[in-house]
Amino acid sequence: MSAPVFRAPSKRSRATAAVLVASVLALLAAGCAGGTPQATPTGSADVVEVPKDAATITEAISLVREGGLVLVDPGTYDESVTVDKADVTVRGTDRNAVVIDGEGLRSNGIQVIASGVRIQNLTVKNHTFNGVLVTGLHDKNGAQAHNLDGYQKLDPEKFPPLERFEVSNVTASNNGLYGIYAFNSSHGVIRDNYTSGSADSGFYVGQCADCDILVTGNVAENNAIGYENANASDSVVITGNRFTNNRVGLTLLSWYQEAYLPQKSATVVGNLIADNNSADSPAQALGAFGLGVGLSGANSNQLERNLIAGNRSTGVQVTNTEDLSSTGNRLEGNSFDDNGVDVADLSATRAPSSDTCITGSGSDLTVVPSSFADSCGADTTGGATAADLPSLEVPAGISFLKVVAGPDQPNLGGDLAEIPAALPAKVAMPDLAGVAIPDRSLLQDLVVQQ
């Protein structure tokens, strides 16, 4: 019996694994959007305590009046909460002990689809998509946002941005897409939050013009990307954050075939963007690793007085988004230290970068290609290639549910039982003139100790 038992493996064709997906769970379903969500009944209570007055947060939202307060006591809540009532505050009494747990099954922890809502002082974890989603796009199927399969391109006329929101002192861990996600929303504050273990990014601000959004005092670690800013423009201020030990620290980018293109004019001042070489994190969708800042089809952004350090591939990488160039970006007075390469231009020749000004970061900056250092006020003819960057072994991504939990995080201060005043029409932006370059100790006591 010497006949081969196994048929000789085929050498003629690469197996088309993609085709097989059709027989498993691949979905090409047309969207079925339309209609409006069922409004929560009008409540009358100023303050609703959970579980004292209502067994669930969802029930509490139905009982509270517009502008009222839902105060949540410690416990694990296995519900997906939709806040559809204006000016409501949902606040935990103990950030680390009030936990909305998706158990690896539910899509979103909290979905905000009404204006003026605050989410404060609680933990959202183990959701298959987002920890907290704030979105102006919603239909009869609930909240929607880009990056969910089958999402149709945002129509800003049909779905104007949600206005006025705040997400503060929230811990968002081990979520399968974004930790804290503001989509098609404006006039908002994302402050003093902690995100880790997000399979896409810890924070995402996307799809708004004249956004008027402040991102400050936040920590992102062990995410695929710390902070992602796509098609969010004009008045996004990102200051005093710690984006360390992700695979990528921060990105400003144009997302093609999406509303509010191209991205422009964000302000990134006084952040620590360091050591984004985490192996204890989910894989980045494109395999990126060791990158501090990525600018892709990004325009007229101001990156100033940041410490960009210890990123093993590149400190700041500039590239194009398809035919959209990166133009007019300002890198002024940043401190670069111990990156594989400090600044690199990888733009394709079909969409070369132009007018990138790199000033005030010392003379020993490593720039690839070297001519890129002189591109302020000038065009380039295209950048270097990935082969010109340090060659890194990219560790395999791990399950977002398996990323290590962070330490306990500080609670919101003040009288937690007090109903806050309505959020203002415009965000009070900080004065950035006095912001200094941070050192590596910025918010250090809030991260997983190495």
Partner 1 sequence: MTGRPLAVVAAVIVGLTVGITLGGCAPGTTGTAEPQVTGLTTEQAERLAVTRFRNFDAGVREVTVTVAGDDSGDIVVDGWYDYATHTGYGSATAAGADAGLIWWSADTIATRDGATGETTAPLPLPDDGWQSGALDPTSTNLANALALVTNLGSDRPENPQLLAQSDAAFLKKDTIDGTAVEVFIGPSADGAAESTAAADLTTRARYWVDSTGTLLKFESPLGDGSTGATATIELGTTSGVEVPTAVPGT
Which residues in this chain contact partner 1 in the complex, by CB under 8 A?
Answer: 1, 3-17, 19-32, 103-107, 128-129, 141-142, 148-150, 176-177, 199, 282-283, 396-399, 401-402
Nearer to partner 1, 126 or 241 (CB): 126
Nearer to partner 1, 44 or 141 (CB): 141
Cα separation, 208 vs 167, in Å, equals: 17
Q: How far is the CB of 396 from partner 1 (least distance, A)?
A: 7
CA dihedral 79, 83, 89, 91 (to 10 degrees): 10
Q: Which of 276, 264, 378, 401 is nearest to 321 (CA)?
A: 264
Query: 234-237 contacts: CB < 8 A, separation 24 or more?
Result: 234/209, 234/210, 234/264, 234/265, 235/210, 235/211, 235/265, 235/267, 235/429, 236/205, 236/211, 236/266, 236/267, 237/213, 237/266, 237/267, 237/269, 237/429, 237/430, 237/432
Q: How many Cβ atoms from other residues are within 10 Å of residue 33's Cβ?
A: 16
Nearer to partner 1, 49 or 78 (CB): 78
CA distances from 274 to 12, 241, 245, 404 (A): 46, 11, 7, 19
Q: How far is the CB of 263 from partner 1 (least distance, A)?
A: 24
Nearer to partner 1, 106 or 440 (CB): 106
Nearer to partner 1, 32 or 417 (CB): 32
- With a CB cutoff of 8 Å and minimum separation 6, the contacts of 225 are 198, 200, 201, 202, 246, 247, 248, 249, 250, 251, 284, 288
Nearer to partner 1, 149 or 431 (CB): 149
Q: How far is the CB of 393 from partner 1 (least distance, A)?
A: 14
Cα separation, 213 vs 237, in Å, equals: 6
Q: How far is the CB of 64 from partner 1 (least distance, A)?
A: 24
Q: How far is the CB of 348 from partner 1 (least distance, A)?
A: 28
Nearer to partner 1, 156 or 395 (CB): 395
Q: How far is the CB of 19 from partner 1 (least distance, A)?
A: 6
Q: How far is the CB of 99 from partner 1 (least distance, A)?
A: 18
Q: How far is the CB of 174 from partner 1 (least distance, A)?
A: 11
Start-to-end CA span in the chain (Å): 59
Nearer to partner 1, 8 or 387 (CB): 8
Q: How far is the CB of 447 from partner 1 (least distance, A)?
A: 24
Tell me: cis bond preceding 438? Omega within 30 of 0 counts: no
Residue written as tokens 């402050």? 191
Nearer to partner 1, 31 or 362 (CB): 31
Cα separation, 67 vs 216, in Å, equals: 24
CA dihedral 310, 216, 109, 41 (to 10 degrees): -170
Q: How far is the CB of 395 from partner 1 (least distance, A)?
A: 12
Q: 174 near 403, Cβ under 8 Å?
A: yes
Q: How far is the CB of 80 from partner 1 (least distance, A)?
A: 9
Which backbone phi and psi does 311 adopt, to 5 degrees? -90, 115
Structure tokens at 350: 């079909």
Q: How many Cβ atoms from other residues are within 10 Å of residue 288's Cβ?
A: 20
Residue written as tokens 């005043």? 421
- With a CB cutoff of 8 Å and minimum separation 6, the contacts of 312 are 277, 289, 290, 339, 340, 390, 392
Q: 403 near 280, Cβ under 8 Å?
A: yes
Nearer to partner 1, 16 or 257 (CB): 16
Q: How far is the CB of 364 from partner 1 (least distance, A)?
A: 39
Nearer to partner 1, 22 or 55 (CB): 22
Nearer to partner 1, 150 or 424 (CB): 150
Q: Cα angle at 299 between 294 and 305, to 5 degrees?
A: 60
